[in-house]
Structure 1
Amino acid sequence: MFFLQLMSGSLLLPLVMSSGFVHSLWLLFNYISGPTQFPEFSMVLMLDDIQVGYYDSDTDQLINVGGGGEKGAELDLGQFALNVMKNNMMDMGTRLDIVRKQLNLTTTGVYVQQRMYICGVRKDGQPDFIMVRDGANGHDADSIHCNTTHFLYGGGDGWDFKLDTMKQIYLQMRFSNIHLPFCARILRRLLESNKHLVMRRVRPRLRLLSQPRGGGAQITCLATDFYPRHINLTLLRDGEPVDEEEMTVGSVLPNGNGLYQLKKTLMVDEEELQRKHKYTCAASHRSLDNRLDVSWRAESFRSYRVLVISAPVVLMVAAILLLVLMMKMRKRSGSEVNLLGNTGESRSQH
């Protein structure tokens, strides 16, 4: 849960400070202190939004989990990459001890230290930025952002990790000359072996759904099964974009098949339906040469209300017809019995 907060909150920082990056490498570290069934240290490796590797201290192996190559096999990124992971493990354990002392926490509980590395490269493949954020027990601790020209350090939530001037100069040199080039090199290597995944373009499926809601309607603009995740989805009313404040706008969510979905929903009342507006769901995406759109119009308020009440009416009419049919069948059956009875009586008299 903490990583989700970090990821959603921190994605804007590199975008604002370094707008030219194209691909990114994510290293998500977990260090757990205390008795649990989980490994003491683990790391998830992601290329853009695709998980490609996993490491934990129990197996002491970096495993390929979804990228190029054999799934479940060892992901060989070199000894230096393994050293980086182990150094992070030791450093995070030390940091967690500092946090426990600052907060006067006991040594018998379960505590979690988390760290997120992100680095990006530009279109020409050159290093663009690297960012590190730390947190303990679900709270931000501090962060570092470094690119080819700037170095920024910031604290979070009142954590007291003191860095004097010399320490910051040392970190700037280390991140600029070691971490950033190394991360960019690994990123380019993974891009080469996973280009069939990260370079793919999958066209969105676009639908405009209208559902009765009382006397009005719920109109949903839905795009599904697209990749990459960046999409521009717009709901138009008579050719003009509907204000975002009028709608319920969702987030881009994974579809469960490696693709994504996004929807925007607008509630329309009876008065709005009477105006017979034309609604259009439009999408712009990297996989499309031109804008994709689909439209819907309520022909009339009266006809739309028929849709609202049609289901109950159909059920009622069906029940009445079934009752009438059963009565006719019963009456006909009774007539046949009487006819047979009369015939038998005539024969006996004869």
Structure 2
Amino acid sequence: MGTSVVTASFALLCVFLLCEPSLQTEKHSLYYIYTALSKPVDQPGIYQFTAMGLLDDREIDYYNSKEQRKIPRQHWMKEKMQEDYWEKGTQSRKSKEQWFNVNVDILMKRMRHNESDVHVLQWRHGCEIEKNGDEVKFSKGIDEYSYDGANFLSFDDKESQWVAPVAAAVPTKRKWDNVTILNQYTKGYLEKECVDWLNKFREYGDEVIRKGSPPEVHVFAKRCTRDKTKLELTCFATGFYPKDVILSIRKYRSPLPEKEIESSGVRPNHDGTYQLKKTVIIQEDEKADYDCVVSHSTLNETIITKWDGTCPDCGSSLVIGIVIGAVLVIVVVAAVCLYLFMTKRLSEYYYMITDSGHTAFNIFL
């Protein structure tokens, strides 16, 4: 009886000892997800093409077919990455958008799907690592495509070849496996380049969190929704970390009473920083000097931002109509140019710029 208890205790101790290293192991990931629709959808917030980068499941950058600009989603990404990085990233996303537009059409024809329906082509690629102390080890790489939510094609990193789970993907597998440079590049990106970027992004993010992030301060006015004869003057501070901040609205350099001010309270941003908005109601013809004063632990001196006295949305409806008309003309011209460009895309092979700015080799499906 005693021997059994000792044996059981020893076995339990061994389990704890064996499990201890795994409790210290950190897992991190970097993924890029691209989603393309076969045609536009008339719903707000849904675009024909979108792309995003995810570090440990937190969005770090974003692109859509409307703005056509790769933008930072984390405050530290905006601080740390040079403008050249975002310019190259924008070109990368634009080239991928063109690639997807062609390939959605290819798959629809191959599947004999109706063009009146909306079909979705998605690509996810990236890597995962395990970190134990100072040791960083590549865990796995993923490069996979899906069509209408079902697996279409994936890359076997160990065998350096493509896997076709459905018959419609077999022609693509054969074509891509015959291009050795494509498979070599894909394996190299997943195991080396992706891991390097993952480690760099994590280092940048951790550094900013340690030293904090200063606020950006904006002051603006708009027409009051409750009383059209008055204005809502707003002081907006955002992007700061830690969350403790002091914000006041002043008139002739004297703080306004808090009872006259509406506050949003400190709220979290999507990137781990915080924001605070305070608003006061003033007369439309107000000529007084208003400013916004913000104090934060990351600042060497207080930020004082003065209101310029303007109200952008208080202009005449004629001016607004002219602006809207000009925008519509630009959109129509851009659509025509895109159509003419796409009709000329008859080549089989395609070069595009990667997110890191390098030129990569890719092939149509």
Same fold (TM over 0.5): no
TM-score range, shorter chain: 0.3 to 0.5
Higher normalized contact order (CA 8 Å, seq sep 6+, divided by chain length): 2
TM-score by length of 1: 0.43
Higher-Rg structure is 1
